[in-house]
Chain A
Amino acid sequence: MSTATADRIAQLRAEGEAAVASAASTTDLEEIRVRFLGRKAELPNLLRDVGKLPPEERGPVGKGANQARQALQAAVDSRQAELEATELESKLAADIVDVTLPGTPVTPAGHLHILTATRREIEDVFVGLGFSVVEGPEIDLAYYNFDALNHDVHHPARSEADTFYVADDVVLRTQTSPMQVRQMELQAPPLYIIVPGRVYRPDNDATHTPQFHQVEGLAVDEDLTLGDLQGTLLAFARAIFGDDREVRLRPHFFPFTEPSVELDVSCFNCKQGFLRDGSRCPLCKGTAWIEILGAGMVDPNLYGYVEGYDPDKHQGFAWGMGIERIAFLKHRVPDLRMFFENDLRLLEQFG
């Protein structure tokens, strides 16, 4: 190879590399690429014309020119990548939004009703304690609502002032308790159930609505005790109102339990009945205890209404609580009637 040719190749390569290095944009670079490596450029022409050279020069010239071209191409590629990255950054830098504008709204999630949320919470606690959830009709026989629950024919709760009637022997259930007997008719002991549902009584004021919701509980087995009732409801009270709650049983009277009790839970709003500022707690009225439900050992008379239950052998306990009351105590909605207005401004605070 002539020295002139070799020098020329080296020169082209050096010029090309310098040009590539100084390219300021991808457009510049493309021009440079065409100038040095394009169809009409000198270096590719040298390669293309290598056949016209004397045979002894073909090898060295071809090799030299090819090396130079490859080196130049690599330089172009690498510079191209650099320039593209730079150009993207500057383009993005110009594409500015006001990040403080509000986001594009999706449809916001809704909310379960506070009573449903409370009911589920109660259900889940008792399912965890081994109680199945059963439901029954809201319009039921006076037989299930009263007779089979040991209410004497003249019991005042049967009066039209206290019960909605559909027919002489058909009522809107006043409690979830009719399901006690219905379920006992279906199932021999052991029986562990809770009955959530809607019930009705003809009252209408801030603390009584003509419809409300209860959760009834019933456990019948061979050796259940009043202590078991207390333990079960203690577990419930702690799950709902907090782990450091205590409960106490107070004697009471219900026609379908004997002994009958009311369950108080220690107030979760105050210390010993008084708030921090020394004033009397409005929730427990200074008593440090809040009544949450009625309960008791199943009255043995009830077993007489169903087959497979033996008052000498079987013992059980039952309770009934108001879902509204639990929700009220937890969330302090001031007027029970608000539960059924379905004002979204209230609904969205819960569930």
Chain B
Amino acid sequence: MRLPLFWLTDYVDPGMEASKLANRLAMTGTEVDRVHAHGVTALENFVVGRVLEREQHPDADRLSVCQVAIGEGDVATIVCGAPNVAAGQTVGVALPGSVMPDGTKLKKAKLRGIPSNGMILAEDEVSIGMDHAGIMVLDDDLTPGTPLADVLPISTDVLELEITPNRPDCLSVYGVAREVHAATGQPLAPAPWATDPGTPGPIEGVTIEVEDPEFCPRFTARLFEDVTIGPSPRWLKARLMAAGQRPINNVVDITNYAMLLTGQPLHAFDFDLVAGGRLKVRRAGEGEKMLTLDDAERTLDGSMHLIEDGDGPTSIAGIMGGQRSEVQPTTTRVLMEAANWNGPTLQRTSQKLGLRTEASGRFEKGLAPEQAMEGQIVATQLMLELTGARLVDGTIDIGGEGPAPVTLRLRDEKVTRLLGTQVPIREQADILEALEFGVHDAGDGLDVTVPAFRRNDVTREVDLIEEVARLWGLEKLPATIPGHGMSARLTTEQRLRRRAADALVGAGFSEAIGWSFQAPELARKLRIDLPAVKLRNPLSEDLSVMRTTLLGSLLNSVRHNTARGTEDVRLFEEGSVYFDRPHGRTPTAAEARSTPLPDERMHLAALLTGRLHPASWGESNPPTADFFAAKGVLETVLGALRVPFTVVRGSDPFLHPGRAARVLIGGEDAGWLGELHPGVTEEFDLGRVAGFELDLSAVLPHANVAPLYEDLTSFPAIRQDLAFWVPADRTASELVEVVKGAGGKLLKDVSVFDVYAHEGRTSLAVRLEFRAGDRTLTDEEIAPQREKVVKAVASKLEGELRG
């Protein structure tokens, strides 16, 4: 909300400059986005002037050459283009050096050969109105040379306030004035609605009916006759302009002014266009249509409300009026409406229609019914003062004021307990009274009565404590650390996840964070069809489906880098993926009665492409990423976690069919490992890419986090190398399994160290490591084991020992 300071000072003088006030308001709970200067600067150059002579410009039909008295006997020659300029007028003059609202600096100029030493001002040139048809003509009793700023509000600071949703009462000049009063201690003028020129009772010829009082808790109306529509006075226009509203005509301006001052939106009907002199608030029919002020036809439904007259709908209640009964230049009878609408219902309507107005934005936050009469009274005063209107007797008031105010007990002990420090009870009382709460001493604290305009926000003791705390000064609070004496640490799973990421970082991988949502297209590119969670209201089609694999976002990230000239890319990601299927956790009570949540899992994936390490003068062609490079990384990660695993051939559709594997941990599937299918990498414009992806819930439970000591140092191991010819379809892991099975208890480790294919057979060389915990082994002692191994390989794998 834009708060012009010169308007605020009608009700409270903050007694400090704008930036200080902004800071004080921020520290008491009213955020100030920024302070800006409205209007002109270099004020000393703006003065009152009197046009002494006006002559036609010799070379320009539309220009006048004026001699203007600007005080102290000085006379300036000013060339003026306004049609209404005339000798004898008192005017506003900007002298050279003036800085205009758009920041331009006025200079001496020559206009069609005649020097001009200034400018005679129109309203819009100093941002106090929209009128540019002619210059402003001021009162004749002003003395030339008088600073113009003393006469017209041509310059003011404006605070741009960020009002929190719980404080709709602060969406008004008087509402903020109350806060400023409480925050600064400066005196507050009486409310502008303190004097009501109106009278209660029915109005002859006006019938108002409210069908749905829950939606419309209060409806007030007054009737004015003999209204003359015309421009508003300068002081009013200047206030609207500074607050960011465009002046239109006196009646519309009055509704806006009353709204800005009191927070209550109003609507003015041309009463002669209200058919039958009657208005009715009712629910709209399903599919009912009406034409709104913005010239759009709106289709309503049964949850919405409208106001109709004898001929049908005229307004969407609380949101926008209709064209049919709009105030016209010829209007002479005005029915002024100030009503209160149910915020949530109105908000839904406004959302459904995609129609948000200044009024609806205020109503949806929940105004107090009392505000309706406050706005009505201010409007009445101005209608009488500015439009020549006569108020017809009576005031329609359906619904009346809101519920009786509540009184809450504020316990001194509770204040201390919540804030951690004592606030003297007298200060508590002073603060609350400054905020217009009623305060009475009670045994253990205060009995506090909540004013109507805070009815929705302050309902409990704790809400009162907040009021006390924010004005007492949060800067006076102590900074203490709770003495709970509890210790905390990361969970095993959290520590393992960090360990896995650290291992990957050590192995040369950088961490990526991809988008959780992706395009449906991505699943097609990856040739997968897993049950995915779809968003009902995505930002775009490209971000409409939740990912079921980290592969897609990682590939996008790899591609982002290769496309920018980084050829060697090693990236990993640890993040959630989401499946549209039951999750298998025990549901909470709320989950049990709701739509089932998807199955959300933490995955870890890594991809690499390009060279495994940079080329150098000693090695111009370093090895590049392939299946075994990826497997090496997988071994590094799972080794760091102490998770034993095996792999089997796999067939994931996005992988190279000959270089695809599944990772098994504890006998269960934990993810994929492989080189990506060239058809897939082509879609991403990438070369060979290898990698893996693991479901961490299948990995982490198998980590050996507290290994027991094994004596590997007291006695040396004995190593034996054996090479076998095996048929080509036998795998290394089969050989290792057979060797392990036959090698006996002393065989501690078997590893493949050489592979060589020849004529349909494969030579696999394995290193066997035997160790005993209590003695040094000899070749003789393990010879029988070696024999058993050779026999087992022969019988189970048709393998033979190479010579």
Contacts and interface: CB of A to CB of B under 8 A. Distances in A.
Given A170-B594, A253-B166, A139 B537 contact: no
Contact of B613 (A107, A251, A299, A340): A107
B451 interface: no
A14 B774 CA distance: 59
B508 interface: yes
A340 B590 contact: no
A347 B588 CA distance: 39
Contacts of B480: 225, 227-228, 230-231
A169 B597 CA distance: 10
A99 interface: no
A252 B29 contact: yes
Given A138-B516, A230-B477, A253-B165, A351 B490 contact: no
B534 A231 contact: no
Contact of B490 (A106, A127, A247): A127
Interface stretch (A37-45, A62-70, A109-117): A109-117
Interface string B155-196: 000000000111100000000000000000000000000000
Contact of B417 (A165, A223, A300): A223
Given A154-B343, A231-B478, A202 B537 contact: yes
Contact of A250 (B26, B420, B590): B26
B616 A144 contact: no
B648 interface: no
Nearest to A202: B539
Contact of B510 (A225, A261, A348): A348
A107 B543 CA distance: 35
B619 A210 contact: no
Given A153-B344, A190-B486, A110 B469 contact: no
Interface string A39-56: 000000000000000000
Contact of B474 (A248, A258, A344): A248
B419 A225 contact: yes
Given A129-B481, A141-B597, A340-B515, A111 B505 contact: yes
Contacts of B600: 137-139
A231 B501 CA distance: 33
Contacts of A159: 351
A278 interface: no
Interface in A144-192: 144, 148, 152-154, 156, 159-161, 164-170, 172, 182, 185, 190, 192
A20 B204 CA distance: 143
Nearest to B481: A231
Contacts of A141: 590-591, 594-595, 597
Contacts of A190: 484, 486
A259 B511 contact: no
Nearest to B508: A107
A165 B536 contact: yes
B460 A211 contact: no
Interface in A95-111: 101-111
A107 B591 contact: no
Contact of A251 (B28, B418, B508, B511): B28
A267 to B, nearest CB: 15
A104 B29 contact: no
Nearest to B564: A343
B539 A210 contact: yes
Contacts of A198: 516, 575-576
A91 interface: no
B341 interface: no
B770 interface: no
B604 to A, nearest CB: 13
A172 B482 contact: no
A251 B474 contact: yes
B406 interface: no
Pick from A137, A190, A234 the residue with the most CB of B within 10 Å. A137
B757 interface: no
A200 B508 CA distance: 31
Interface in B544-572: 546, 557, 560-561, 564, 566, 569-572
A147 to B, nearest CB: 8
B748 interface: no
Given A227-B480, A253-B164, A258-B466, A343 B561 contact: yes
A266 interface: no
Nearest to B505: A110
A300 B619 CA distance: 68
B487 A259 contact: no
Nearest to A144: B590
B463 A138 contact: no
A139 B576 CA distance: 10
B654 interface: no
Interface string A201-212: 010100000110
A250 B512 contact: no
Contacts of B347: 154, 156
Contacts of B344: 152-154
Contacts of A225: 417-421, 480
Interface string B465-476: 110011000110
Interface size on A, as a range, is: 35 or more
Interface size on B, as a range, is: 35 or more
B509 interface: yes
A226 B469 CA distance: 10
B504 A110 contact: yes
A214 interface: no
B477 A342 contact: no
Given A104-B616, A105-B613, A107-B508, A340 B481 contact: no
A30 interface: no
A152 B366 CA distance: 12
Interface in B498-547: 498, 501-502, 504-517, 533-539, 543, 546
A102 B571 contact: no
A140 interface: yes
A112 B571 CA distance: 10
A166 B560 contact: no
B706 interface: no
A227 B478 contact: yes
A341 interface: yes
B560 A343 contact: yes
A235 interface: yes
Contact of B511 (A112, A126, A166, A169): A112
Nearest to A247: B479
A315 B465 CA distance: 14
Pick from A127, A154, A204, A351 the residue with the most CB of B within 10 Å. A154
Contact of B537 (A109, A137, A165, A351): A165
Interface in B578-626: 578, 588-591, 594-595, 597-598, 600, 612-619, 622
Pick from A160, A165, A223, A344 the residue with the most CB of B within 10 Å. A344
A19 interface: no
A190 B60 CA distance: 85
B507 A110 contact: yes
A231 B489 CA distance: 21
Given A138-B516, A211-B515, A351-B511, A167 B588 contact: no
A259 B469 contact: yes
A281 interface: no
A249 B474 contact: yes
Contacts of B618: 104
The 8 closest A-B pairs by CB, nearest first: A225-B420, A227-B420, A251-B29, A154-B344, A259-B466, A253-B164, A251-B470, A342-B557
Given A132-B489, A210-B517, A347-B511, 13 more contacts: A109-B508, A123-B490, A133-B488, A138-B576, A141-B594, A156-B347, A160-B537, A192-B482, A231-B482, A252-B29, A259-B418, A315-B417, A348-B510
Interface of B: 26-29, 31, 164-167, 343-344, 347-348, 351, 364, 417-421, 460, 462-463, 465-466, 469-470, 474-475, 477-482, 484-491, 494, 498, 501-502, 504-517, 533-539, 543, 546, 557, 560-561, 564, 566, 569-572, 575-576, 578, 588-591, 594-595, 597-598, 600, 612-619, 622
